[in-house]
Structure 1
Amino acid sequence: MEHDPSSAKTNSLEKMLAILDGFDEQQVVIDIDRAAELSGSSRPSTYRYLQALTRSGLLTPASGGTYALGSRVIELEMLRRENDPLHRASHHLIRHYAQTTGLNIMVCSYYGDKVLCTDFAWADRSMPDIYRPGRSMPLFRGAMAKVILANHSQARLRSIWTWNEAALREAGLGHTLAEFLDAMAAIRSAGAMITSGEVFDSLVGVAAPVFDLEEEVLGSVVFVLQADRFEASDPEKLSEEIRELSRGIQRGIARASRFNAIATGAAAKPRRSPVYSG
């Protein structure tokens, strides 16, 4: 069962904000025709939306009548990064751990309907740093995403299955709801997960979830290894190391909360009808 979130664009604000969906790694500028297509609006209305987004700083005029992301986006990202409990607790820790072990480490955050790379420490330079802060990850593939998915409540998992049944089957996470829930329970019980080649060929991910103070999943921490290095390693040892790193991050979140150094934060909640990119 699939649901198209774009069908819910019913008011001017939703139509205006839909223009921002046109930006990604391949498309860094947008013109009025593309903006009109995204918003489902006439050119005059679209032009008003573009002007409003420009006044807010979310967009800025670029060459050839196009628009690029504006300065306010950068300012908001700085505020998010500096006040995000997961980022603050993990930033220095993963760098120390990467330098000590020579392992590449990535931190992913969960934002309700997306899993994003928010930080990484790349110790093994023989592997290109293909992950970047802000890069969106598929929620149904890769260890970094599956350990997040598995740690939702039973009610939320049932809702996710309802709206994403075909994608979950395609990802090999079960052909029935019962199989899907069993697969999630197994990952949750293990406390860590290893996948190979699910996001990028020849790369192995070893991931563990990270929780907030209310035991809601905030994101995950991941070792990223080339397949040949993984084959020469002990999978059980790697799994225990990533679990310990996750516990270290959670201790940092708790410590910061006790001393009011940062806001405790809260895990993002999915949409009422959660539809994910599988």
Structure 2
Amino acid sequence: MTATATPDGAGSLAKMLNILQLFSETEPVWSTAAIIEALETSRSTGYRYIKTLHEAGLLSSARNGYYTLGPRIIEMDLQIRLTDPLLLASHGVLEELVEKIGHSALLCTAFRDSVLCVGEHRAPSSPANRFSRGQRRPLFQGAVSKVILAHLPHHRLKAIYARQGKEIENAGLGATWSEFRATLGEMKKAGYVLTVGEFNPGVYSVAAPILTDQKTALGSVGVAWDENQRRDVEVEHAVLAVKQAAATMSERLLEQQRD
């Protein structure tokens, strides 16, 4: 694995921060030598980057010459949990949504060309979510992703289509820019997205957008259930509950701005 290449304008800071992207669930510990090799930089520059991140608390020394992600990231996560407007707007809403339909609820937001889960509330005795806080999914698959995609600003959609037109076509969202826009237009008009079996056979997913005052999506709220395990879930009831949850969070975000 190599760190992502950066343009000259991004400079050494961007390349240094790319070190953090090397760490993953499958590769949580990296040696100094491996980091420098992945960066494709000089030893002196690599050592300087590692030293800077370590002093900032973004890297932690696991043992001599080996590093993991650092404790400052945990502090930052707590700050996000306490102050993020989207999370603040969701307080009590996900719990109420679970009570209404009896299955776990997710809160998501766009992150680069993907969607990131930022919050969840699990129903009692429910299995662990296949998608939970801190995990990403493609922007073109799943209800929580597609409903955000449909409400992104026009200029951003144009940029996404230019980069990933083939992926969009493969996802069944349109073989041309016009078809893509028409598909997203139908999603916006409906105010929600329902998918079945896009990640796992027989799994229904419903999501609605959390909107800014400009009617673009800051995030989405959604629920999912397996029809083989939960035949008592009424789709129309789930759609109404999810749309109401999204509307409540959208209104709370507007109230935060007024305050």
TM-score (norm 2): 0.89
AA matched with 1:196: V
**Is 1:162 aligned to residue 162 of structure 2?**
yes
Distance (Å, rounded) in 2 between the aligned partners of 1:58 and 1:204:
39
Residues 96-107 of structure 1: pairs in structure 2 closer than 5 A:
96-107=96-107
Q: CA RMSD in A?
A: 2.1
Query: Given the alignment of the two structures, is residue 56 of structure 1 paired with residue 56 of structure 2, yes or no?
Result: yes
Contact 1:127/1:226 (8 A) holds in 2: no
Shift of 1:73: 0.8
The higher relative CO (CA closer than 8 Å, separation ≥ 6) is in: 1
Structure 1 residue 96: deviation in Å?
A: 2.7
Contact 1:104/1:121 (8 A) holds in 2: yes
3-state SS of paired residue (2:189): helix
Partner AA of 2:4 in structure 1 = S
Q: Which amino acid aligns with 2:182?
A: D
Instruction: Give CA-to-partner distance per residue, 1:12-40, whole Å, 9 cap, x none.
Output: 21221111111223222222233124322
Unaligned 5+ residue runs, structure 2? none
Say if 1:18 and 1:38, in contact at 8 Å, map to a contact too: no
Asked if structure 1 preserves the Cα contact closer than 8 Å seen for 2:97 and 2:242, the reply is no
TM-superposed CA distance for 1:125, in Å, is: 2.6
Correspondence for 1:246: 246
Match of residue 6 from structure 1: 4
Percent identity at matched positions?
31
Query: Matches of residues 212-227 of structure 1 in structure 2 within 5 Å?
Result: 212-227=212-227
Does the 8 Å contact 2:151/2:215 carry over to 1? Answer: no
Task: Report deviation, 1:49.
Answer: 0.9
Inter-CA distance 16–247: structure 2 relative to 1 (3 Å threshold)? same
Q: Do the aligned partners of residues 161 and 142 (structure 1) sit closer, same or farther apart at CA in structure 2, a change above 3 Å counting?
A: same
Please list, as runs of the form range in 1=range in 2, the aligned pairs for 1:43-192 lying within 5 A after superposition.
43-63=43-63, 65-192=65-192
Q: Residue 92 of structure 2: SS of its match in structure 1?
A: helix
Q: Offset of 1:163 from its aligned partner?
A: 0.8
Determine if contact 2:5/2:15 at 8 Å carries over to the other structure.
no
The code of the aligned residue for 2:125 comes to R
Residues of 1 paired with 2:231 and 2:158: CA distance?
35
- Alpha carbons of structure 1 residues 34 and 174: separation in structure 2 relative to 1, 3 Å: farther
CA distance in 1, matches of 2:145, 2:55: 36
Inter-partner Cα distance in structure 1 for 2:102 and 2:48: 52
Q: 1:158 Cα deviation (Å)?
A: 1.9
The 1:80–1:241 alpha-carbon spacing in structure 2 relative to 1, beyond 3 Å, is: same
For 1:26 and 1:95, how far apart are their aligned partners in 2?
32
Query: Which segment is superposed worse, 129-138 or 205-214?
Result: 129-138
Structure 1 residues 224 and 117: CA distance shift in structure 2, 3 A: same
1:209–1:246: 8 Å Cα contact kept in structure 2?
yes
Q: Is the 8 A contact 1:15 1:40 kept in 2?
A: no
Given residue 190 of structure 1, which amino acid in structure 2 is its aligned partner? Answer: A
Structure 1 position 177, deviation (Å): 1.3
